[in-house]
Amino acid sequence: MNNYPTITGLGFAVPEDVWDNHRLEKLVDTTDDWIRSRTGIVTRHIASKKDSTASLGAEAARNALHNAGLDPLEIDVIIVATMTPEMLFPSTACFIQKSIEAKNAAAFDISAACTGFIYALSIGSSMITSGAAENILIIGAETLSRIVDWEDRNTCVLFGDGAGAAVLSKNGKGGRIVDTIIRSDGSKAKLLYMPGGGSLHPASEDTVRDRMHYLKMSGKGLYKEATTSMADGAVRILEKNGLDIGDMDLLVPHQANIRIILSTAKKLDISAEKVYVNIEKYGNTSAATIPIALSEACDEGKIVNGSNVVLVGFGSGMTWGASLLRY
């Protein structure tokens, strides 16, 4: 019998503290109108001292497990996609494993930035298809507020904190993962990166003074790559599986910027009703945006039996990817 990877449960978690655009007006030279018109963001959730990437990821995981009807002891593997890990080592997945008491699970992190959840879907799906695992917990979790430069008005307005999780099970009931495409182009790595803190520029007085431990972004270059890669990803995953744009019932894109999302929809020539958007509430939560959006889309009844759903994302690396789900 074939092993079909299926999303059997979804869940998400965001910090309690909500920052609207007016709060940012007090930190940097910006306005609510400017942020709304250029990004589509109205509010974002910001981690408090009691929050961390692992704590948010664990809460999202518990919600996904509850919705899947699974005990943590039934999980074989935990994969966490993040660019803001709990610490360099051990993995954030190991901290989450301990927190939710998934004592039988292997646990590891992957680093593919905002495309991380799709990369994790690809890995998890392959493990289930090969028979290496039966139940896998995939989590996209971020505390981007910890690496955002709150003096840089071009970047600090964009990001928020949160986590989204999915349970993948063999031949389960839910959204079958039909196919996934993942790609990268390392020549564009410096469109979005954090120079300090790694082996190239380990933490020192100099790196702190030069503000190297904050996220750096080239907005114009990123915008061009994002709109091209997301539209291309949607077309490729559909064509690879004998479908066209008209067969897609819902597009769930990475929630980076409303202009990027609308430009992607225009390139694909699809109506706004076919694109799920929640960026106004959460901002860009990197690897967490797609699972949070997918979870909310299901809760709101936008995904029903028979729906063809396409997930598309792009991120630092540059990485990009797309997944086709069939409910």
pLDDT in tens, 128-183: 999 999 999 999 999 999 999 999 999 999 999 999 999 999 999 999 999 999 99
Q: What is the average pLDDT across 80-99?
A: 98
* Residue 312, amino acid: V
Residue 1 has pLDDT above 80, yes or no: no
Name every residue whose Cβ is closer than 8 Å to that of residue 298 and which is 6 or more positions away in sequence: 10
Class of domain 5-173 as given by CATH? alpha beta
Residue 233 has pLDDT above 60, yes or no: yes
Confidence band (pLDDT; 50, 70, 90) for 227?
Answer: confident
Residue 192 has pLDDT above 70, yes or no: yes
Instruction: Among 1.10.287.10, 3.40.47.10, 3.90.600.10, 2.70.170.10, name the CATH number for the domain at 178-326.
Output: 3.40.47.10
Beta strands in 120-210 (DSSP E): 135-143, 161-170, 175-184, 192-193
Residue 179 near residue 241 (C-beta atoms within 8 A): yes
Q: What is the average pLDDT across 18-37?
A: 97
Buried b (16+ CB within 10 A) or exposed e, 121-145: bbbbbebbeeeebbbbbbbbbbbbb
Please give the pLDDT value at position 274. Answer: 97
Q: What is the average pLDDT across 98-108?
A: 98
Phi and psi at residue 8, in whole multiples of 5°?
Answer: -105, -10
Residue 41 near residue 21 (C-beta atoms within 8 A): yes
Q: What is the average pLDDT across 221-240?
A: 94
Domains 5-173 and 178-326 share a fold: yes
Q: What is the average pLDDT across 217-233?
A: 92
Residue 61 has pLDDT above 60, yes or no: yes
> How does the average pLDDT of the chain come out, rounded?
97
Residue 291 has pLDDT above 70, yes or no: yes
Catalytic residues: 114, 254, 284
Residue 116 near residue 259 (C-beta atoms within 8 A): no
Q: What is the average pLDDT across 288-294?
A: 98
Please give the pLDDT value at position 219. Answer: 85
Please give the pLDDT value at position 133. Answer: 97
Can you tell me the distance from the alpha carbon of 93 to that of 91, in angstroms, rounded to the nearest whole number? 5
Helices (H) and strands (E) in the chain, counts: 10, 13
The domain spans of the chain are: 5-173, 178-326
Confidence band (pLDDT; 50, 70, 90) for 31?
Answer: very high
Please give the pLDDT value at position 264. Answer: 96
